[in-house]
Amino acid sequence: MSSAPELIEQFRPTYVEIDVDAFGRNVEAMQRRLGDTRLVAVVKADAYGHGAIELARRAARSNVPMIAVSLLEEALELRASGMEIPILVLGPMKEEQLRAARENDLRVGVAGPEELAAIAAIGADDFPVHLKLDSGMGRMGVTRGELPDVIRLLRRNPGIRVEAIYTHFANASDPADSFTQRQLDNFREMLDALRVAGIDAPLHHSANSAAGVRGLVSPGDYARVGIALYGAEPLDSGGFHLEPVMRWRTEIARLKTLPPGHGIGYGTTFTTKRESRIATLPVGYADGYSRALSNQADVLVCGRRAPIAGRVSMDLITIDVTDVAGAAVGDEVVLLGSQGSEAITADELASRIGTISYEVFCRVSARVPRVYRADGRISIRSKFFEHFNLSSRSQG
């Protein structure tokens, strides 16, 4: 991490800009929408590719009660950055990892009886867990048939403190699917079965972004919100989104005029139909711009759309700027985000290749520097910083 903005000049002009202020406004907009339900900010997978340290810190400033990640490593990274906020680890862990979780004051989302038994084996006298119930998704969580096992384990191990009981929806992004209501009913029935056995928790949570936006929450619950905070659409039908946070930009590195009938790129999957101006961009699938977007997507140049021409290669992309008058070497090109009055959203890119915005964000690789804007200040994160000679420059 560096606070010197001029350092970015030493890099290839391909980077993502992260609008931390917009993220903060999104957190607060969701908090208002959730009312008495408390927002847990989900920053797993490096905050969906945006940068977990910077965004978790911003979420904490808006007084979220908890941060959720997927991996122990992700939680440890946040702890190492000085964050003392409660952190919930959602993914499954083995005994060694569970020990480390305990030592670092993390909350553990319990995936099933095996994990509960591993926690019991550690024998801590106060181990806070969030017990996950499988209300129908069939992936993580305790099934109805496993409830007796879980009840037995919890009775025998009073050191395991069930701080929360939770579940996860399979299809809350589709309001027409009644399965979400069935999952809620199943969750309530399983909670009742636990209560009859004397087991409950002060907290419950089930909602993700989609369920939160739809109001499928109860006062006092937590809601685990990810995608909405990054400005993408939580609902399949669209129609609700907050401010985009990520903007991915590069510059034209090479511009040439080619005659009609000229092939472009690997496999020559694009052939010019007229005299064409073809621009080459220093970004490719190794940076996380999917090769499936070959000949499928647009980018923005001079505030206009220009199509990808030919295959996306590992390090390069070619675009057709024949219809973008004035496009020149060094001009900014936007792959994701807005330029002028035009915008390319993660949902648009996802829809071109049959995936979801989540994957578009997560694909942006560690090779791409992140430039953070927060409160009028700029800071930069890149895994390559340490290799530059920075002796004459300030480092934060």
- Binding residues (CB under 6 A) for ligand PLP: these are 42, 44, 90, 168, 208-210, 224-227
Q: Give dist(CA 345, CA 224) in Å, integer.
A: 23
Residue nearest to ligand PLP (CB): 226
Residues taking part in catalysis: 44, 266
Residue 125 beta carbon to ligand PLP: minimum distance, rounded to whole angstroms: 28
Residue 90 beta carbon to ligand PLP: minimum distance, rounded to whole angstroms: 5
Do 212 and 30 form a contact (C-beta atoms < 8 A)?
A: yes
Would you say 64 or 210 has its CB closer to ligand PLP? 210
Would you say 42 or 306 has its CB closer to ligand PLP? 42
Would you say 46 or 298 has its CB closer to ligand PLP? 46
Q: SS3 string of the chain?
A: CECCHHHHHHCCCCEEEEEHHHHHHHHHHHHHHHCCCEEEEECHHHHHCCCHHHHHHHHHHCCCCCEEECCHHHHHHHHHCCCCCCEEECCCCCHHHHHHHHHCCCEEEECCHHHHHHHHHHCCCCEEEEEEECCCCCCCCECHHHHHHHHHHHHHCCCEEEEEEECCCCCCCCCCCCHHHHHHHHHHHHHHHHHHCCCCCCEEEEECHHHHHCCCCCCCCEEEECHHHHCCCCCCCCCCCCCCCEEEEEECCEEEEECCCCEECHHHCEECCCCEEEEEECCCHHHCCCHHHCCCCEEEECCEEEEECCCCCCCCEEEECCCCCCCCCCCEEEEEEEECCEEECHHHHHHHCCCCHHHHHHHCCCCCCEEEEECCEEEEECCCHHHCCCCCCCCC
Would you say 109 or 310 has its CB closer to ligand PLP? 109
- Name, in order, each residue with C-beta under 8 angstroms of 97's C-beta and a sequence gap of 6 or more: 72
Choose among 23, 12, 39: nearest CA to 316. Answer: 12
Residue 208 beta carbon to ligand PLP: minimum distance, rounded to whole angstroms: 4
Would you say 128 or 212 has its CB closer to ligand PLP? 212
Would you say 92 or 288 has its CB closer to ligand PLP? 92
Would you say 50 or 249 has its CB closer to ligand PLP? 50
Amino acid identity at 67: I
Give the β-pairing of 222-225 and 304-307: unpaired
Residue 186 beta carbon to ligand PLP: minimum distance, rounded to whole angstroms: 16
Residue 8 beta carbon to ligand PLP: minimum distance, rounded to whole angstroms: 29
Residue 225 beta carbon to ligand PLP: minimum distance, rounded to whole angstroms: 5
